Amino acid sequence: MGSMAAPPPPPPCQCHLVCVPYPGRGHVNAMLNLCRLLAAARDGVSATVVVTEEWLGLLTAGGPAPLPRAVRLAAIPNVIPSEHGRAADWAGFVEAVYTKMEAPFVRLLDGLQAQGGAPAAIVADTFVPWAVRVGNRRRIPVCVLSPLSAAMFSVQYHFHRLPQAAGGSASPPLDGADIADGVGPCLIENYIPGLKSIRLADLEPSHSNKAALNSILEAYVEVRKAQCVIFTSFYEIESDAIDSLRQELPCPVFSVGPCIPFMALQEHNANTEKESYMAWLDAQPVNSVLYVSLGSFLSVSPAQLDEIAYGLAQSKVRFMWVLRDACSRVEGLIQGSDGMVVPWSDQLKVLCHPSVGGFLTHCGMNSMLEALYAGVPMLTLPIVLDQPINSRLIVDVWKVGYSLKEKVRADSVIGRDEIAEAVKKLMMNSGDAEGVRRRASLLEEASRTTAEEGGSSYRDIMAFIDFISPSKR
């Protein structure tokens, strides 16, 4: 019997999306990476990503991952506080996003519709709730993109099920005590199916802040009115949470991750130009460098920053630390150590470098997905929002890292000795670090195969395109 011919490629579709990310770096990057994946998946899929004028400037100032021709940027005026310093008034920033962006977006949408008709769908970040209302008023399907893990989405979507959370007006007990006889520790899986090892205490501090919690829950009122939900995560790492959500949500659920710029990484590997830090990495032994990046928003306190610097120097481990602010101060603290501090790096490219053997991370979703893709074990230092739950997934569910959070002192700072000890444990393969590294390699393989033809994310990307294509409706 002769070999069967390969199936023909799917026909091109004329499918234009208007996409609205929440104006924060992790959210914008997640949306852009989703658009890259969709545009690469099928001819005829295009996207207009709507950002503020400030964000348009940041994105067009040059960067490691240029957008494909099918993805373009459009800007609304700067009706919200600047990206620089928004952490100083997080509640005020969220309120501005919720109340001031809708009107200019509607005007821009009017212009786009006048040029080319209604889009096939609006893809909106979970935390741009007004976009769901706009789409429903105009009878344009709205797809909610969750740049959080499926586990975190499930916690927030089902928050009313947690103890003392009636109406979303009060926080659950966060002291780790038993809830009732026979129930055991404060595990969220006692109340929300599909979640393992996550504790009520992991919701601190954002979910015990009434104003922050109400803003979060307000967004999920609109999520319930969307036509589908998309996750930047992928099925192999969150199958229980995704299966549970598929049973409970009133709309389709697509997991299309990892939504990271891996296609751009392949293109840049062909580029002979090298940044100075890449030349430094080239000179280091395999798996010898700890990469350190604690995010660009709501970072650690100055006291904690100092302890990290002293701890890294004390560990005698090679490290590369990305630090946008306080570079000169930290450089003074790490003198004599085998490390370097840089203001910026192409993170995925660095994590995939053979010399990088560990990642000290704040556990932002994009950073976590990039570390999994690179097969790099993690040392977690979560701060707020979804980061403690991501840390729990890394350490207790996937077992690809260690947590520093449990070593915090009464003054809310983790000391240099504890940091140095944890760094050495991760990087020098002491204890069970060899098993951690082996499991990280398995998740690296899963991260890569899921996006290949036939993989779960590939199938969900194709199913999503079919779902929103005008010809299919």
Place of tokens 């290949």: 452
Could you tell me which residue, 342 or 8, shows the higher pLDDT? 342
Q: What residues are paired with 124 via a beta bridge?
A: 20, 144
Q: How confident is the model at residue 273 (pLDDT cuts 50, 70, 90)?
A: low
H-assigned helices in 4-129: 25-41, 53-60, 90-100, 102-116
- The stretch 303-321 carries a mean pLDDT of 94
Q: Are strands 121-125 and 142-146 parallel, antiparallel or unpaired?
A: parallel
Q: 247: which residues sit within 8 A by CB, 6+ positions away?
A: none
Question: 133 and 29 in one domain?
Answer: yes
Question: 76 and 60 in one domain?
Answer: yes
Question: 341 and 401 in one domain?
Answer: yes
> Does the pTM of the predicted model rise above 0.85?
yes
pLDDT of amino acid 97: 97
- The stretch 223-231 carries a mean pLDDT of 98
pLDDT of amino acid 64: 55
Residue 405, domain member (yes or no)? yes
Question: What is the extent of the structural domain holding 315?
Answer: 274-447
CA distance 319 to 340: 7
Question: 230 and 293 in one domain?
Answer: no
> Across all residues in the chain, what is the average pLDDT?
88
Q: 211: which residues sit within 8 A by CB, 6+ positions away?
A: 91
Three-state SS at 459: helix
pLDDT of amino acid 172: 45
Question: 454 and 429 in one domain?
Answer: no
pLDDT score of 9 more than 70: no
Residue 8, domain member (yes or no)? no
Question: 61 and 210 in one domain?
Answer: yes
Question: 282 and 249 in one domain?
Answer: no
CA distance 113 to 138: 11
Q: What percent of the chain is predicted at pLDDT more than 70?
A: 88
pLDDT score of 136 more than 60: yes
Q: 143: which residues sit within 8 A by CB, 6+ positions away?
A: 121, 122, 123, 124, 226, 227, 228, 229, 230, 464, 468
Q: How confident is the model at residue 8 (pLDDT cuts 50, 70, 90)?
A: low
Helix (H) or strand (E) run with residue 213 in it: helix 210-223
Residue 136, domain member (yes or no)? yes
Q: How confident is the model at residue 212 (pLDDT cuts 50, 70, 90)?
A: confident
pLDDT score of 5 more than 80: no
Q: Which of 308, 267, 275 minimizes the C-alpha distance to 290?
A: 308
Question: 30 and 96 in one domain?
Answer: yes
Question: 295 and 222 in one domain?
Answer: no
Question: 215 and 168 in one domain?
Answer: yes
pLDDT score of 233 more than 60: yes
Residue 366, domain member (yes or no)? yes
pLDDT score of 185 more than 80: no
Residue 424, domain member (yes or no)? yes
Number of domains composing the chain: 2
pLDDT score of 13 more than 90: no
CA distance 199 to 392: 9
The domain spanning residue 187 has which CATH number? 3.40.50.2000
Question: 219 and 284 in one domain?
Answer: no
pLDDT score of 167 more than 50: no
Residue 10, domain member (yes or no)? no
pLDDT score of 378 more than 50: yes
Indicate left, alpha or beta for 136 from its phi (over 0: left) and psi (-120 to 50: alpha): alpha
Question: 295 and 175 in one domain?
Answer: no
pLDDT score of 29 more than 70: yes
CA distance 19 to 112: 12
pLDDT of amino acid 278: 94
Indicate left, alpha or beta for 178 from its phi (over 0: left) and psi (-120 to 50: alpha): beta
Could you tell me which residue, 85 or 166, shows the higher pLDDT? 85
Residue 409, domain member (yes or no)? yes
Instruction: State residue 198 phi and psi, 5-degree precision.
Output: -80, 135
pLDDT score of 171 more than 70: no
Residue 149, domain member (yes or no)? yes
Q: How confident is the model at residue 183 (pLDDT cuts 50, 70, 90)?
A: very low
